[in-house]
């Protein structure tokens, strides 16, 4: 089974200090930050693969500030919901829920009202590969979480997904598909009722 914990890191690290970047690269990172600030709601399918050939699919919903939902397709029994101040990781098979403060997870960044620069994050590289921009970043307070590369289409800007390499060298790639931005999302999507599963 593809590890869920690493799924989150990749989406939430585009904020931070940009050390050793050129002015052009800093401008590019700022442009992408502005784009992310414009994303209020999103519904998208995702495909997640790992370095061992594991594959999982699911649906992701976002409503900033403060709400998201990752729901994996069967047979992966994982559901993640963020609402209010908490993020809930629920294993439907085990009927076990873990509650975390949003601020104690990488999710706080995407869930924030505004994407802002924060000294805890370091943008380490910006690459342009044809129409694709890749931005790599690390989190200084949690180096064991590894490094992430966010992948964007350049024009028009669009988040295509992310790649993560954790501290032990394991990799995860997430590709977003069929994105719908700015659509109304029923608030029930972000409710967590374990008796429903």
Could you report the per-residue pLDDT of 67-109, keeping only the tens digit for each? 999 999 999 999 999 988 889 999 999 999 999 887 666 565 5
Say what percent of the chain tops pLDDT 90: 45
Q: How far, in Å, CA of 33 to CA of 78, rounded?
A: 29
Give me the tens of pLDDT residue by residue for the chain, a chain 197 residues long: 444 433 443 344 444 455 578 888 889 989 988 998 899 999 999 999 988 889 999 999 999 989 999 999 999 999 999 988 889 999 999 999 999 887 666 565 567 777 765 666 778 889 999 999 998 887 677 666 667 788 999 989 999 988 887 767 788 898 999 999 999 999 999 999 888 77
User: What pLDDT shows up at residue 42?
Assistant: 95
Greatest extent of the chain over all pairs of C-alpha atoms, in Å: 52
Strand ranges in the chain using DSSP code E only, listed in sequence order: 17-18, 41-50, 55-63, 67-72, 78-83, 86-91, 96-101, 121-129, 132-139, 147-153, 158-165, 171-181
pTM: 0.80
Determine contact, residues 44/179, Cβ cutoff 8 Å: yes
CATH 2.50.20.10 fits 5-181, yes or no: yes
Q: What is the pLDDT at residue 8?
A: 44
């Amino acid at each position: 089974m593809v590890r869920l914990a690493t799924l989150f890191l990749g989406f939430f690290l585009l904020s931070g200090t940009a050390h050793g970047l050129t002015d052009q690269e800093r401008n590019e990172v700022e442009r992408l930050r502005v784009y992310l600030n414009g994303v209020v709601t999103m519904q998208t399918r995702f495909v997640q693969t790992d370095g061992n050939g594991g594959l999982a699919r699911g649906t992701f919903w976002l409503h900033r500030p403060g709400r998201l939902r990752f729901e994996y397709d069967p047979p992966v029994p994982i559901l993640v919901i963020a609402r209010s101040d908490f993020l809930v990781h629920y294993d439907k098979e085990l009927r076990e829920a873990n509650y975390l403060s949003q601020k104690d997870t990488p999710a706080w960044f995407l869930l924030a009202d505004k994407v802002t620069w924060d000294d805890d994050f370091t943008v380490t590289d910006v690459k342009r590969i044809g129409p694709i921009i890749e931005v790599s970043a690390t989190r200084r307070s949690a180096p064991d979480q590894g490094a992430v590369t966010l992948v964007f289409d350049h024009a028009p800007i669009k988040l295509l997904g992310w790649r993560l390499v954790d501290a032990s060298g394991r990799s995860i790639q997430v590709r977003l598909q069929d994105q719908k931005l700015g659509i109304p999302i029923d608030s029930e999507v972000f409710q967590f009722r374990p008796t429903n599963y």
